[in-house]
Amino acid sequence: MPIPVSEAAAIAGRIAANVERVIIGKREAIDRVLVAMIAGGHVLLEDVPGVGKTMLARSLAASVGGQFRRIQFTPDLLPSDVTGVSIFDQKQAEFVFRPGPVFANITLADEINRASPRTQSSLLEAMEEGQVTADGVTHQLPAPFMVIATENPIEYEGVYPLPESQLDRFLLRFSLGYPEREQEMQIVRAQLVEHPVVALEPVTDASEIARVQETAAHCHVAEDVYGYVLDLVEATRQSDDLHLGAGPRGTLALVRCAQALATLDGREFVGPDDVKTIAPSALAHRLLPRPEARVSGVTGAEIVEQLLQTIPVPA
């Protein structure tokens, strides 16, 4: 059952403030993760080591009172190490399913591109349908369920780049970046004795998250805003710099993210600015630049920004 948008925004604000006790000075990144959670999607964090990607996932799980599990992706990791395995129970004389670490509210897929494509693809059913099928039996994942995957964009040896079809499953992709000088000083001082994530207490629960998600799903989207989204997505398909533009899943992701962003802001309607704010994070990883564009150093995010400057914004 939906709740008033002001109440939904207040719940999201409490979560963000709680996470910010650990992830200092990165409110925009925290809001991005909340947008993904409210929209029922998953996040790919692409950044260098040591900037707080794991702590962001742990802090979010602690703030919503959810179970957190971490999967360290390595070349020898098997799909069953992620989803679970059936083991023969001699007492019951039958096979019993032992759930894998993906059965959690917040699952951190750390360095996801270090595992083989077969192991990477074991997450697809869980991310898309919220379930795992093993030996012909379907097992539902807990709600809310969210995958936060990480990548190191610097190292290229011993990695398996995520294919476009798998990148498309992530609602948002973005980076945290290095903190400012004063913020980094706060981080160092806060962690000298004990890491602040240890002391985090839940500020909400799964039932409230579900109501916030429902409220966001009912956020009004006007026809001209729908048109603006479609114009942007269509422009990616027509761009001379792109070999592959965003598909219908990207269109839906952009609308859902804009609804979640409006809900965070306490509004019952989506505006063009919501679309413009979230579009680079929602669309860039779904685009495949042409070889000549890649050689020139043009990224998907830069192409999205260029398109946003050329497409007319509805009044």
Tens-place pLDDT, residues 22-48: 999 999 999 999 999 999 999 999 988
Given a contact cutoff of 8 angstroms between Cβ atoms, the answer to whether 18 and 197 are in contact is no
Q: CA dist 167 to 75, 127, 228, 247, Å?
A: 19, 11, 24, 12
Q: pLDDT-derived band of residue 160, with 50, 70 and 90 as boundaries?
A: confident
Distance CA 45, CA 153 (A): 10
Per-residue pLDDT for 140 more than 90?
yes
pLDDT score of 240: 87
CA angle 67, 83, 287 (to 5 degrees): 90
Per-residue pLDDT for 155 more than 80?
no
Q: Which H or E run includes 46?
A: strand 43-46
Distance CA 227, CA 217 (A): 18
Per-residue pLDDT for 5 more than 90?
yes
Given a contact cutoff of 8 angstroms between Cβ atoms, the answer to whether 87 and 95 are in contact is yes
97 vs 261 pLDDT, higher one: 261
Per-residue pLDDT for 145 more than 90?
yes
Q: pLDDT-derived band of residue 156, with 50, 70 and 90 as boundaries?
A: low
pLDDT in tens, 41-86: 999 999 888 889 999 999 999 999 999 999 999 999 999 999 998 8
Q: DSSP letters along 235-302, please?
A: HHHH-TTEEE---HHHHHHHHHHHHHHHHHTT-SB--HHHHHHHHHHHHGGG-EE-HHHHHTT--HHH
- 161-185 average pLDDT score: 91
pLDDT score of 106: 96
* Burial of 132: CB neighbours in 10 Å, binned 0-12, 13-18, 19+: buried
Distance CA 123, CA 91 (A): 31
pLDDT score of 277: 96
| Domains parsed from the chain with CATH numbers | 219-315 (1.10.8.80)
pLDDT score of 101: 94
Total-model pTM: 0.93
What average pLDDT does the structure give for the chain? 92
Strand partners for 99: 84
pLDDT in tens, 242-271: 888 999 999 999 999 999 999 999 999 999
132 vs 135 pLDDT, higher one: 132
* Burial of 127: CB neighbours in 10 Å, binned 0-12, 13-18, 19+: buried
pLDDT score of 104: 96
Distance CA 82, CA 12 (A): 30
E strands, 52-93, in order: 68-72, 84-89
